[in-house]
Amino acid sequence: MSCPLCSTDGGLVVARTPQFRVVRVLDEPAHPAFYRLIWNDHVAEFSDLSVTDRHACMDAVTEIERALRSLLAPTKVNLASLGNVVPHLHWHVIARFDGDAQFPAPIWAAARREAVPVLARPLEAVDAAIAHSLASATRTRD
């Protein structure tokens, strides 16, 4: 029983804390502004976390959402923790744009068109903003 989120980072790591890492997802070309918060410990469900960890997790998800909103002005941000295939707690944080491949359907629905959003800023700027905000949040909690 090997878990891919225990044995690999699961994407391009943009931030790490003792509890979780945030990665940029590289294998969803139709949705380039797609990040995941991956809990480091192998737990399946959000409710397996302590209340302190749950709040820290969602505070970080919020920081990712804010970086996306601030730099890319998406039509909507989508948040999801599914884990049916890989039951190791992770949160999808996805910038959605009017006219992207499935909009307004979820990204897991059939594509309605071939389209890749043109982003207002390079993804490296988003990566840096996420890393900075999570480092700041961690320092504030010290």
Residue with smaller CB distance to a second copy, 23 or 57: 57
Tell me if 44 sits within 8 A of 89, measured CB to CB: yes
Stretch that binds a second copy, among 1-9, 27-35, 48-56, 117-125 (CB under 8 A): 48-56
* Cα torsion angle, 30, 16, 67, 65, sign: positive
Tell me if 78 sits within 8 A of 106, measured CB to CB: yes
Contacting residue, 27, 84, 140, 141, with a second copy by CB under 8 A = 84
Residue 36 CA to residue 29 CA, distance in Å, equals 15
Binding letters toward a second copy, positions 54-73, x by CB under 8 A: xx--xx-xx--xx--x----
Q: How far apart are the first and last CA of the chain?
A: 37
Residues that bind a second copy (CB under 8 A): 44-47, 51, 54-55, 58-59, 61-62, 65-66, 69, 75-85, 87, 96, 103-106, 108-110
